[in-house]
Chains A and B, each alone.
Chain A
Protein backbone atom coordinates (compact mmCIF):
# COMPACT_ATOMS: atom_id res chain seq x y z
CA UNK A 1 0.00 0.00 0.00
CA UNK A 2 2.78 2.41 0.94
CA UNK A 3 4.69 1.39 -2.16
CA UNK A 4 1.67 2.11 -4.32
CA UNK A 5 1.27 5.48 -2.66
CA UNK A 6 4.92 6.39 -3.16
CA UNK A 7 5.32 5.17 -6.75
CA UNK A 8 2.03 6.30 -8.27
CA UNK A 9 -0.14 8.50 -6.09
CA UNK A 10 2.50 10.93 -4.86
CA UNK A 11 4.03 11.71 -8.29
CA UNK A 12 0.58 12.20 -9.76
CA UNK A 13 -0.35 14.59 -6.96
CA UNK A 14 2.86 16.50 -7.67
CA UNK A 15 2.08 16.64 -11.40
CA UNK A 16 -1.38 17.94 -10.51
CA UNK A 17 0.04 20.72 -8.33
CA UNK A 18 2.73 21.64 -10.86
CA UNK A 19 0.07 22.01 -13.57
CA UNK A 20 -2.07 24.13 -11.25
CA UNK A 21 1.00 26.33 -10.78
CA UNK A 22 1.26 26.74 -14.53
CA UNK A 23 -2.40 27.74 -14.82
CA UNK A 24 -1.50 30.85 -12.81
CA UNK A 25 1.18 31.68 -15.39
CA UNK A 26 -1.13 31.18 -18.39
CA UNK A 27 -4.04 33.08 -16.81
CA UNK A 28 -6.55 30.25 -16.54
CA UNK A 29 -9.38 30.79 -14.07
CA UNK A 30 -12.07 28.78 -12.32
CA UNK A 31 -12.77 25.14 -13.15
CA UNK A 32 -10.12 25.31 -15.88
CA UNK A 33 -7.42 25.11 -13.19
CA UNK A 34 -8.80 21.81 -11.93
CA UNK A 35 -9.21 20.35 -15.41
CA UNK A 36 -5.61 21.21 -16.33
CA UNK A 37 -4.30 19.70 -13.11
CA UNK A 38 -6.20 16.45 -13.56
CA UNK A 39 -4.97 16.28 -17.16
CA UNK A 40 -1.37 16.60 -16.01
CA UNK A 41 -1.85 13.92 -13.34
CA UNK A 42 -3.50 11.58 -15.85
CA UNK A 43 -0.65 12.02 -18.33
CA UNK A 44 1.97 11.36 -15.69
CA UNK A 45 0.11 8.27 -14.43
CA UNK A 46 0.06 6.73 -17.92
CA UNK A 47 3.73 7.64 -18.37
CA UNK A 48 4.61 5.91 -15.07
CA UNK A 49 2.48 2.83 -15.73
CA UNK A 50 4.23 2.18 -19.04
CA UNK A 51 7.67 2.61 -17.52
CA UNK A 52 8.97 6.04 -18.58
CA UNK A 53 10.00 5.06 -22.13
CA UNK A 54 9.45 6.99 -25.34
CA UNK A 55 6.46 4.81 -26.09
CA UNK A 56 5.08 5.62 -22.64
CA UNK A 57 5.36 9.32 -23.50
CA UNK A 58 3.48 8.63 -26.73
CA UNK A 59 0.65 6.89 -24.84
CA UNK A 60 0.56 9.59 -22.17
CA UNK A 61 0.28 12.31 -24.81
CA UNK A 62 -2.50 10.35 -26.51
CA UNK A 63 -4.38 10.06 -23.21
CA UNK A 64 -3.99 13.79 -22.60
CA UNK A 65 -5.15 14.55 -26.15
CA UNK A 66 -8.37 12.57 -25.78
CA UNK A 67 -8.99 13.96 -22.28
CA UNK A 68 -8.53 17.59 -23.40
CA UNK A 69 -10.76 17.18 -26.44
CA UNK A 70 -13.44 15.66 -24.22
CA UNK A 71 -13.19 18.47 -21.65
CA UNK A 72 -13.24 21.12 -24.37
CA UNK A 73 -16.47 19.59 -25.73
CA UNK A 74 -18.00 19.54 -22.25
CA UNK A 75 -17.07 23.14 -21.44
CA UNK A 76 -17.41 24.52 -24.99
CA UNK A 77 -13.96 26.14 -24.79
CA UNK A 78 -10.87 26.03 -27.01
CA UNK A 79 -8.82 22.84 -26.46
CA UNK A 80 -5.50 24.72 -26.39
CA UNK A 81 -5.54 25.56 -22.69
CA UNK A 82 -5.95 22.02 -21.39
CA UNK A 83 -3.56 20.44 -23.86
CA UNK A 84 -0.91 23.09 -23.33
CA UNK A 85 -0.71 22.78 -19.56
CA UNK A 86 -1.26 19.04 -19.25
CA UNK A 87 1.59 18.23 -21.65
CA UNK A 88 4.11 20.42 -19.82
CA UNK A 89 5.35 17.89 -17.22
CA UNK A 90 6.19 15.47 -20.04
CA UNK A 91 8.31 17.91 -22.08
CA UNK A 92 11.89 16.60 -21.86
CA UNK A 93 13.53 19.41 -19.90
CA UNK A 94 15.74 16.85 -18.19
CA UNK A 95 16.91 15.56 -21.54
CA UNK A 96 18.05 19.00 -22.67
CA UNK A 97 19.96 19.48 -19.43
CA UNK A 98 21.63 16.07 -19.36
CA UNK A 99 22.60 16.39 -23.03
CA UNK A 100 24.30 19.69 -22.26
CA UNK A 101 26.00 18.20 -19.20
CA UNK A 102 27.51 15.42 -21.28
CA UNK A 103 28.49 17.95 -23.93
CA UNK A 104 30.31 20.17 -21.43
CA UNK A 105 32.03 17.14 -19.90
CA UNK A 106 33.17 16.09 -23.39
CA UNK A 107 31.35 12.75 -23.40
CA UNK A 108 30.38 12.73 -27.06
CA UNK A 109 28.64 9.39 -27.23
CA UNK A 110 26.50 10.00 -24.17
CA UNK A 111 25.72 13.48 -25.51
CA UNK A 112 24.44 12.19 -28.85
CA UNK A 113 22.53 9.42 -27.11
CA UNK A 114 20.74 11.83 -24.77
CA UNK A 115 20.11 14.31 -27.57
CA UNK A 116 18.44 11.67 -29.74
CA UNK A 117 16.38 10.46 -26.79
CA UNK A 118 15.25 14.05 -26.12
CA UNK A 119 14.20 14.53 -29.74
CA UNK A 120 12.43 11.18 -29.61
CA UNK A 121 10.48 12.24 -26.53
CA UNK A 122 9.44 15.55 -28.10
CA UNK A 123 8.39 13.84 -31.32
CA UNK A 124 6.47 11.17 -29.39
CA UNK A 125 4.60 13.86 -27.46
CA UNK A 126 3.69 15.79 -30.59
CA UNK A 127 2.66 12.76 -32.63
CA UNK A 128 0.78 11.14 -29.74
CA UNK A 129 -1.35 14.17 -28.97
CA UNK A 130 -1.85 14.88 -32.68
CA UNK A 131 -3.02 11.34 -33.52
CA UNK A 132 -5.31 11.12 -30.49
CA UNK A 133 -6.92 14.51 -31.19
CA UNK A 134 -7.47 13.79 -34.88
CA UNK A 135 -8.86 10.33 -34.19
CA UNK A 136 -11.15 11.67 -31.48
CA UNK A 137 -12.47 14.37 -33.81
CA UNK A 138 -13.14 11.94 -36.63
CA UNK A 139 -14.99 9.50 -34.39
CA UNK A 140 -16.80 12.25 -32.52
CA UNK A 141 -18.16 13.99 -35.63
CA UNK A 142 -19.13 10.62 -37.09
CA UNK A 143 -21.08 9.61 -33.98
CA UNK A 144 -22.53 13.10 -33.58
CA UNK A 145 -23.94 13.19 -37.10
CA UNK A 146 -25.28 9.67 -36.84
CA UNK A 147 -26.96 10.56 -33.55
CA UNK A 148 -28.59 13.56 -35.16
CA UNK A 149 -29.91 11.65 -38.16
CA UNK A 150 -31.93 9.31 -35.98
Chain B
Protein backbone atom coordinates (compact mmCIF):
# COMPACT_ATOMS: atom_id res chain seq x y z
CA UNK B 1 0.00 0.00 0.00
CA UNK B 2 1.10 3.53 -0.74
CA UNK B 3 1.38 5.03 2.73
CA UNK B 4 2.44 8.46 1.49
CA UNK B 5 -0.77 8.74 -0.47
CA UNK B 6 -2.85 7.54 2.47
CA UNK B 7 -1.30 10.17 4.73
CA UNK B 8 -1.93 12.86 2.14
CA UNK B 9 -5.58 11.85 1.88
CA UNK B 10 -6.01 11.91 5.63
CA UNK B 11 -4.33 15.31 5.95
CA UNK B 12 -6.48 16.75 3.16
CA UNK B 13 -9.57 15.43 4.92
CA UNK B 14 -8.44 17.01 8.19
CA UNK B 15 -7.74 20.27 6.40
CA UNK B 16 -11.24 20.36 4.91
CA UNK B 17 -12.79 19.54 8.28
CA UNK B 18 -10.83 22.32 9.95
CA UNK B 19 -11.77 24.78 7.20
CA UNK B 20 -15.44 24.00 7.75
CA UNK B 21 -15.14 25.00 11.40
CA UNK B 22 -15.10 21.54 13.02
CA UNK B 23 -13.92 21.07 16.59
CA UNK B 24 -10.35 19.92 17.19
CA UNK B 25 -11.34 16.53 18.60
CA UNK B 26 -13.45 15.84 15.50
CA UNK B 27 -10.50 16.61 13.21
CA UNK B 28 -8.09 14.48 15.24
CA UNK B 29 -10.50 11.58 15.67
CA UNK B 30 -11.60 11.50 12.00
CA UNK B 31 -8.01 11.46 10.74
CA UNK B 32 -6.96 8.83 13.24
CA UNK B 33 -9.90 6.58 12.35
CA UNK B 34 -9.22 6.95 8.66
CA UNK B 35 -5.54 6.06 9.06
CA UNK B 36 -6.21 3.11 11.36
CA UNK B 37 -8.99 1.81 9.10
CA UNK B 38 -6.43 1.27 6.33
CA UNK B 39 -4.48 -1.17 8.51
CA UNK B 40 -1.77 1.05 9.91
CA UNK B 41 -0.47 -0.10 13.28
CA UNK B 42 -0.34 3.38 14.81
CA UNK B 43 -1.41 6.87 13.85
CA UNK B 44 -0.72 10.04 15.81
CA UNK B 45 -2.56 13.23 14.98
CA UNK B 46 -2.17 16.56 16.70
CA UNK B 47 -4.17 19.62 15.74
CA UNK B 48 -4.54 23.18 16.93
CA UNK B 49 -6.84 25.74 15.26
CA UNK B 50 -4.46 26.54 12.39
CA UNK B 51 -2.13 23.57 12.15
CA UNK B 52 -2.38 19.80 11.72
CA UNK B 53 0.48 17.36 12.34
CA UNK B 54 -0.02 13.70 11.44
CA UNK B 55 2.55 10.97 11.87
CA UNK B 56 2.33 7.27 11.01
CA UNK B 57 4.60 4.24 11.23
CA UNK B 58 4.50 1.97 8.18
CA UNK B 59 4.39 -1.79 8.88
CA UNK B 60 8.11 -1.89 7.94
CA UNK B 61 8.78 0.51 10.80
CA UNK B 62 9.42 3.57 8.66
CA UNK B 63 7.98 6.77 10.16
CA UNK B 64 6.27 9.36 7.93
CA UNK B 65 5.14 12.76 9.18
CA UNK B 66 3.24 15.54 7.53
CA UNK B 67 2.45 18.99 8.79
CA UNK B 68 -0.09 21.33 7.28
CA UNK B 69 -0.95 24.90 8.12
CA UNK B 70 -4.51 26.10 7.68
CA UNK B 71 -5.31 29.71 6.90
CA UNK B 72 -8.00 31.47 8.90
CA UNK B 73 -11.43 30.26 7.97
CA UNK B 74 -15.12 30.71 8.57
CA UNK B 75 -17.90 28.26 9.32
CA UNK B 76 -19.45 26.10 6.60
CA UNK B 77 -21.82 23.55 8.07
CA UNK B 78 -22.70 21.91 4.77
CA UNK B 79 -19.02 21.12 4.14
CA UNK B 80 -18.68 19.84 7.71
CA UNK B 81 -21.58 17.43 7.30
CA UNK B 82 -20.23 16.21 3.96
CA UNK B 83 -16.76 15.62 5.42
CA UNK B 84 -18.31 13.74 8.32
CA UNK B 85 -20.37 11.52 6.01
CA UNK B 86 -17.43 10.88 3.69
CA UNK B 87 -15.16 9.92 6.59
CA UNK B 88 -17.76 7.45 7.84
CA UNK B 89 -18.16 6.07 4.32
CA UNK B 90 -14.40 5.66 3.79
CA UNK B 91 -13.88 3.93 7.13
CA UNK B 92 -16.74 1.52 6.48
CA UNK B 93 -16.13 0.70 2.80
CA UNK B 94 -12.33 1.07 2.49
CA UNK B 95 -12.31 1.87 -1.25
CA UNK B 96 -9.00 1.74 -3.19
CA UNK B 97 -6.76 4.73 -2.43
CA UNK B 98 -7.17 6.33 -5.87
CA UNK B 99 -10.92 6.38 -5.47
CA UNK B 100 -10.69 7.69 -1.91
CA UNK B 101 -8.33 10.42 -3.06
CA UNK B 102 -10.72 11.52 -5.79
CA UNK B 103 -13.59 11.62 -3.28
CA UNK B 104 -11.64 13.66 -0.73
CA UNK B 105 -10.25 16.09 -3.31
CA UNK B 106 -13.76 16.61 -4.66
CA UNK B 107 -15.03 17.73 -1.24
CA UNK B 108 -14.33 21.40 -1.62
CA UNK B 109 -15.49 21.61 -5.21
CA UNK B 110 -19.22 21.18 -5.32
CA UNK B 111 -20.92 21.50 -1.97
CA UNK B 112 -24.18 23.41 -2.03
CA UNK B 113 -23.47 27.03 -1.26
CA UNK B 114 -25.85 29.91 -0.84
CA UNK B 115 -25.53 32.60 -3.48
CA UNK B 116 -24.10 35.92 -2.25
CA UNK B 117 -27.51 37.60 -2.41
CA UNK B 118 -28.96 34.86 -0.23
CA UNK B 119 -26.23 35.39 2.35
CA UNK B 120 -26.97 39.13 2.26
CA UNK B 121 -30.67 38.43 2.80
CA UNK B 122 -29.64 36.19 5.71
CA UNK B 123 -27.70 39.04 7.34
CA UNK B 124 -30.60 41.44 6.81
CA UNK B 125 -33.25 39.06 8.19
CA UNK B 126 -31.15 38.15 11.21
CA UNK B 127 -30.52 41.80 12.12
CA UNK B 128 -34.14 42.77 11.47
CA UNK B 129 -35.64 40.12 13.73
CA UNK B 130 -33.22 40.85 16.54
CA UNK B 131 -34.81 44.30 16.89
CA UNK B 132 -38.09 43.06 18.45
CA UNK B 133 -36.08 40.89 20.85
CA UNK B 134 -34.41 44.00 22.22
CA UNK B 135 -37.67 45.90 22.56
CA UNK B 136 -37.92 47.54 19.15
CA UNK B 137 -41.02 48.31 17.14
CA UNK B 138 -41.84 47.97 13.45
CA UNK B 139 -39.82 51.04 12.52
CA UNK B 140 -36.74 49.76 14.38
CA UNK B 141 -37.09 46.44 12.57
CA UNK B 142 -37.02 48.24 9.24
CA UNK B 143 -33.95 50.25 10.26
CA UNK B 144 -32.14 47.11 11.46
CA UNK B 145 -33.00 45.40 8.17
CA UNK B 146 -31.21 48.10 6.19
CA UNK B 147 -28.33 48.26 8.69
CA UNK B 148 -27.89 44.50 8.50
CA UNK B 149 -27.81 44.69 4.72
CA UNK B 150 -25.04 47.30 4.92
CA UNK B 151 -22.93 45.28 7.35
CA UNK B 152 -23.52 42.17 5.26
CA UNK B 153 -22.13 43.95 2.21
CA UNK B 154 -19.09 45.04 4.24
CA UNK B 155 -18.47 41.52 5.52
CA UNK B 156 -18.93 39.92 2.13
CA UNK B 157 -17.21 42.33 -0.23
CA UNK B 158 -14.97 44.33 2.08
CA UNK B 159 -12.45 41.55 2.60
CA UNK B 160 -10.08 42.80 -0.08
CA UNK B 161 -10.25 46.38 1.12
CA UNK B 162 -10.03 45.79 4.85
CA UNK B 163 -7.67 42.79 4.86
CA UNK B 164 -8.05 39.50 6.64
CA UNK B 165 -7.10 40.58 10.16
CA UNK B 166 -10.16 39.59 12.23
CA UNK B 167 -9.66 42.21 14.92
CA UNK B 168 -9.30 45.09 12.50
CA UNK B 169 -12.13 43.84 10.29
CA UNK B 170 -14.49 43.67 13.26
CA UNK B 171 -13.51 47.18 14.40
CA UNK B 172 -14.26 48.57 10.93
CA UNK B 173 -17.51 46.64 10.54
CA UNK B 174 -18.85 47.62 13.93
CA UNK B 175 -17.90 51.25 13.33
CA UNK B 176 -19.81 51.12 10.06
CA UNK B 177 -22.71 49.42 11.83
CA UNK B 178 -22.96 52.09 14.49
CA UNK B 179 -22.58 54.96 12.01
CA UNK B 180 -25.17 53.42 9.70
CA UNK B 181 -27.63 52.98 12.57
CA UNK B 182 -27.05 56.56 13.66
CA UNK B 183 -27.77 57.74 10.13
CA UNK B 184 -30.87 55.55 9.79
CA UNK B 185 -32.34 56.68 13.08
CA UNK B 186 -31.65 60.35 12.29
CA UNK B 187 -33.50 60.14 8.96
CA UNK B 188 -36.44 58.55 10.74
CA UNK B 189 -35.98 54.81 10.12
CA UNK B 190 -36.03 53.53 13.66
CA UNK B 191 -37.10 55.15 16.90
CA UNK B 192 -34.45 53.98 19.35
CA UNK B 193 -30.78 54.32 18.40
CA UNK B 194 -29.73 51.73 20.98
CA UNK B 195 -32.09 49.06 19.68
CA UNK B 196 -31.14 49.49 16.05
CA UNK B 197 -27.41 49.55 16.81
CA UNK B 198 -27.55 46.46 19.00
CA UNK B 199 -29.59 44.54 16.43
CA UNK B 200 -27.05 45.31 13.73
CA UNK B 201 -24.09 44.58 16.04
CA UNK B 202 -25.56 41.15 16.82
CA UNK B 203 -24.30 40.12 13.37
CA UNK B 204 -20.73 40.57 14.59
CA UNK B 205 -20.86 39.20 18.14
CA UNK B 206 -18.43 36.36 18.83
CA UNK B 207 -21.12 33.76 19.39
CA UNK B 208 -19.35 31.28 17.15
CA UNK B 209 -16.00 31.75 18.88
CA UNK B 210 -17.63 31.45 22.30
CA UNK B 211 -19.47 28.24 21.41
CA UNK B 212 -16.39 26.73 19.81
CA UNK B 213 -14.19 27.65 22.79
CA UNK B 214 -16.65 26.00 25.14
CA UNK B 215 -16.79 22.85 23.04
CA UNK B 216 -13.00 22.58 22.85
CA UNK B 217 -12.67 22.88 26.62
CA UNK B 218 -15.45 20.34 27.06
CA UNK B 219 -13.56 17.90 24.85
CA UNK B 220 -10.36 18.44 26.85
CA UNK B 221 -8.39 20.43 24.24
CA UNK B 222 -7.41 23.20 26.61
CA UNK B 223 -4.83 24.84 24.32
CA UNK B 224 -7.31 25.27 21.47
CA UNK B 225 -10.04 26.22 23.91
CA UNK B 226 -7.96 29.01 25.38
CA UNK B 227 -6.95 30.33 21.99
CA UNK B 228 -10.58 30.45 20.90
CA UNK B 229 -11.59 32.12 24.17
CA UNK B 230 -8.95 34.77 23.54
CA UNK B 231 -10.42 35.13 20.05
CA UNK B 232 -13.92 35.68 21.47
CA UNK B 233 -12.69 38.32 23.94
CA UNK B 234 -10.71 40.11 21.21
CA UNK B 235 -13.71 40.24 18.91
CA UNK B 236 -15.89 41.57 21.72
CA UNK B 237 -13.29 44.27 22.43
CA UNK B 238 -13.20 45.11 18.71
CA UNK B 239 -16.98 45.54 18.65
CA UNK B 240 -16.80 47.82 21.65
CA UNK B 241 -14.04 49.90 20.02
CA UNK B 242 -15.90 50.19 16.74
CA UNK B 243 -19.21 51.15 18.32
CA UNK B 244 -17.43 53.84 20.31
CA UNK B 245 -16.88 55.66 17.02
CA UNK B 246 -20.61 55.91 16.36
CA UNK B 247 -21.34 56.80 19.98
CA UNK B 248 -18.72 59.55 19.99
CA UNK B 249 -20.12 61.11 16.84
CA UNK B 250 -23.68 60.81 18.21
CA UNK B 251 -22.59 62.86 21.23
CA UNK B 252 -21.08 65.57 19.07
CA UNK B 253 -24.26 66.34 17.13
Contact = CB atoms under 8 A, between A and B. Distances in A.
Interface of A: 10-11, 14-15, 17-29, 32, 44, 77-78, 80-81, 83-84, 87-89, 91-94, 96-101, 103-105, 118, 122, 125-127, 129-130, 133-134
Contacts of A83: 211, 215
Interface in B136-193: none
Nearest to B78: A27
Contacts of B241: 100
B133 interface: yes
**Binding site secondary structure of chain A:** helix
Interface stretch (B44-52, B63-71, B100-108, B200-208): B200-208
B243 A21 contact: no
B239 to A, nearest CB: 5
Contacts of A100: 240-241, 243-244, 247
5 contacts: A21-B126, A25-B123, A78-B80, A81-B80, A96-B205
B197 interface: yes
Contacts of A125: 210, 214
B122 A22 contact: yes
A80 B194 contact: no
Contact of A91 (B75, B210, B218, B247): B210
**Binding site secondary structure of chain B:** helix
A88 B206 CA distance: 9
Interface in B233-250: 236, 239-241, 243-244, 247-248
B132 A14 contact: yes
Given A27-B113, A97-B198, A80 B122 contact: no
Contact of A21 (B123, B201, B213, B214): B123
Interface string B110-137: 0111100011011111111110111000
Contacts of A19: 126
B235 to A, nearest CB: 10
B113 A134 contact: no
Contacts, number: 158
B217 interface: yes
A13 to B, nearest CB: 8
Contact of B197 (A23, A97, A99): A97
B202 A88 contact: yes
B80 A25 contact: no
Interface string B76-120: 111111001000000000000000000000000001111000110
Contacts of A27: 75-79, 111-114
B78 A122 contact: no
Given A80-B23, A97-B198, A130 B121 contact: no
A24 B210 contact: no
Contact of B207 (A78, A87, A97, A105): A87
Contact of B130 (A18, A78, A84, A105): A18
Q: Which residue among A19, A97, A98, A126 has the maximum number of chain B CB atoms within 10 Å of its CB? A: A97
